[in-house]
Amino acid sequence: MLKFVVRRLLLLIPVVIGVSIVSFSIMHMIPGDPARIIAGEGATIEDIMSIRTKYGLDRPLIEQYLRFMKGIITNDLRSIRTERPILTELLPRFANTAQLALVSIVISSVIGVTLGIVSAVKRNSWIDTFSMVFSLVGVSMPIFWLGILLIILFAVTLRWLPSGGKGGIEHLILPALTLGLATSAIIARMTRASMLEVLNQDYVRTVVAFGLPRRKVIYKYVLRNAMIPVVTVIGLQFGYLLGGAVLTESVFGWPGLGRFVVDSIFSRDYIAVQVGIMMIATSFVLVNLLVDLVYALIDPRLRRG
């Protein structure tokens, strides 16, 4: 088991290097000169040139990349836009994103798995229809629009919750719910499908024939086996959420990583974009590792692998 974890962690290195090369190339392939954008309206040519030399933007690409990698190792990279050390800039935002992602994945797992189980067990009942309509609406609704509607209802009209910003736990409710609804819809569909598949297995028929109580059959024999694909989906969704939910962050004024990376792309802040993307990639790989460990927890057969 330990060997497995270590091997997976070592695999992180080539993944992150690969991601850095890809993001570096893309950022340099799109047109746009960071010096020009940073210098702003009315800047003189001299201003622009001095910014260019300062950040080594006039050097060959290979040299810029090597400089960048060296900066990562020695930890003295700075955002071009804000001139602050890049980790000081990104880590608090990543923490905010992680907080939001965690709460919304918990919300969506609870709602999604519950709805999925209920609708699989009570197949073709009104509750099944309701939850499948709910998940269809949930998947189709634009997050952006849902967020604004929730703000208008709960913050502007009813005044129950704050309309945005970061603060106490009450500030988390609306953005987490907005993000969670779409995700819970996906999880609900997955849970239902997976449960139905397991319910039709021979061994389930056997344990039912043995006369085991229905509740016990569902929770002990069906759910546990049905959980593997569901955990995969939850893990994937969590990974996406950790990459920052740009729209939700924008609508609720949540100071997360996604919005910052997007703003950095617009201002051609190569450094911030590259480090941000490497951070997102790393967290994605780590979440996948976590998912694999959870598999082993659920299914003893996988523990030996």
Partner 1 sequence: MRRFLVLLLALLCVVSFAAKYGGTVRFLIGVDVTTLLPGNIPDSISTIVGMHIFEGLVDIDENLRIIPALAESWEILDNGTAYVFHLRRNVKFHDGADFNAYAVKKNFDYLFSANLRNAGQYKGIIKEVQVIDDYTVKIVLFAPNSSILYRLAQSTGWIVSPQAIEKYGSDPALMSKNPVGTGPFMFKEWKAGESVELVKNPNYWRQGLPYLDRIIFRVVAEDVSRVNQVRAGDADFMYNPPPALFAALQQDKSLKVEVVPTVRTIFIGLNTLRPPLSDVRVRQALNYAVDKEKLCRVLMKGLAKPSDSPLSSRTFGYYSTGGYPYNPERARQLLKEAGYENLKLELITPKGRYLNDYETAVAIQGMLKEVGVTVDVKPIEWGSYVSKILSRKPEDWDYQMFLLGWAPGTAEGHQVLFPLFHSSNRMDNPNATMAYNNSFYSNPKVDELIDKIAVETDEKKLLEYFKEAQKLVVQDAPWIFLYEMNIAAVMRKELQGVKIYPTERVSLAEAWIEH
Residues that bind partner 1 (CB under 8 A): 30-33, 36-47, 50-51, 78, 81-85, 88-89, 92-93, 96, 147-148, 151-152, 155-156, 159, 162-166, 249-253, 255-256, 259-260, 263, 265-268
Closer residue to partner 1 (CB): 198 or 241: 241
CB of 85 to partner 1, least distance (A): 7
Listed in sequence order, the residues at least 6 apart from 235 whose beta carbon sits closer than 8 Å to its beta carbon are: 287, 288, 290, 291, 294
Q: Mapping DSSP to helix (H, G, I), strand (E, B) and coil, where does residue 166 land?
A: coil
Q: What is the rounded distance in angstroms from the CA atom of residue 300 to the CA atom of residue 7?
A: 21
Closer residue to partner 1 (CB): 233 or 271: 271
Q: 10 Å Cβ neighbour count for 35?
A: 20
CB of 196 to partner 1, least distance (A): 40
Closer residue to partner 1 (CB): 150 or 187: 150
Closer residue to partner 1 (CB): 63 or 170: 170
- Here the tokens at position 41 are 């309206």
Listed in sequence order, the residues at least 6 apart from 197 whose beta carbon sits closer than 8 Å to its beta carbon are: 226
CB of 263 to partner 1, least distance (A): 6
CB of 41 to partner 1, least distance (A): 7
Closer residue to partner 1 (CB): 219 or 266: 266
CB of 260 to partner 1, least distance (A): 6
Q: Mapping DSSP to helix (H, G, I), strand (E, B) and coil, where does residue 223 land?
A: helix
For residue 96, give the nearest of 220, 219, 257 by alpha carbon.
Answer: 257
Closer residue to partner 1 (CB): 160 or 203: 160
CB of 279 to partner 1, least distance (A): 14
Contact status, residue 302 vs residue 108, Cβ threshold 8 Å: no
Q: What is the rounded distance in angstroms from the CA atom of residue 31 to the CA atom of residue 254?
A: 29
- Max CA pair span of the chain: 85
How many residues are there in the chain?
305
